[in-house]
Amino acid sequence: MRKKIIEFRNVSFRYGDEQPWVLRNVSFDVYEKEWLAIIGHNGSGKSTIAKLMNGLLFPQEGEIIIDGQQVNDESIWSIRRDVGMVFQNPDNQFVGTTVQDDVAFGMENRGIPREEMIKRINETLSAVGMQEYHMTEPHRLSGGQKQRVAIASVLAISPKVLILDEATAMLDPKGRTEIMSTVSEVQDKNDLSLITITHDLHEVVQAERVIVMNNGEIWDEAVPREIFAKKDELRKIGLDVPFVTILADELNAAGINIEREPLN
């Protein structure tokens, strides 16, 4: 039985007393070392969940437990060390004037000794295939390269959970595929729990488990194959199953056996 790393218990959230509830009674667990995808149409509450997971927001109702600690004012700093996030817009995530300064920044804030910092900069930039770019100014990088550096910066603080919130949304299809394969490698090597948040079902194929959000509530929770099987219902809540998945299933159903990776 795998250990729970994040627990949401009956969590409800709204952005102000007069505002509508954007999450209603949401309960789910994230396990150590698993890859969980959270999908849903725009405005379904995915980013709000991400922000609740690392204490950028607090729920009005229910509780959130991260690695055994309830999220509150006191636990917030250790929780932010455990849960690293990469957001959609790569340009909003840079603070350093060079790539290596940028990766160093989060470590400096946490008082990591210089020798250790240098070691981690080398390790994490290599892990994301950016070892040639230590001294490059971030604005010279492509969108995909910027996201790689953002991932390296998060890895440098050795989190237990890595959350990618629509982190590939601004990339071209090639950049997207490259980032997803980097992330998958990084997860394996670092024993991380990985949470990918997306409205693009292509990115769900490799996940072990999927939570589908709809209007602030959990609509379904299952392995990708089971989720994709509900393609007509998914379309009704604004989500399109990848064409290749439909095609592969239809060919298999017609007795034409094509090789493909298992979905889970």
Residue closer to ligand ADP (CB basis): 57 or 152: 57
Residue 48 binds ligand ADP, judged by CB under 6 A: yes
CA distance 136 to 140: 7
Residue 80 binds ligand ADP, judged by CB under 6 A: no
Q: Which of 53, 51, 58, 61 is nearest to 73 (CA)?
A: 58
User: Which listed residue (36, 40, 102, 127) binds ligand ADP by CB under 6 A?
Assistant: 40
Are 5 and 54 in contact by the 8 Å Cβ rule? The answer is no
Q: How far is the CB of 45 from ligand ADP (least distance, A)?
A: 5
Residue closer to ligand ADP (CB basis): 15 or 77: 15
* Contact window for ligand ADP (CB under 6 A) among 35-43, 99-107, 122-130, 226-234: 35-43
User: Which listed residue (11, 45, 124, 130) binds ligand ADP by CB under 6 A?
Assistant: 45
Beta strands 69-70 and 217-222 are: unpaired
Q: How far is the CB of 57 from ligand ADP (least distance, A)?
A: 9
Residue 200 binds ligand ADP, judged by CB under 6 A: no
Measured between alpha carbons, how far apart are the two ends of the chain, in Å?
Answer: 18
Say which amino acid occupies 155.
L
Residue closer to ligand ADP (CB basis): 46 or 209: 46
Q: How far is the CB of 235 from ligand ADP (least distance, A)?
A: 17
CA-to-CA dists, residue 224 to 28, 39, 228, angstroms: 16, 11, 6
User: The tokens of 43 are what?
Assistant: 């405005």
Contacts of 92 (CB under 8 A, 6+ apart): none
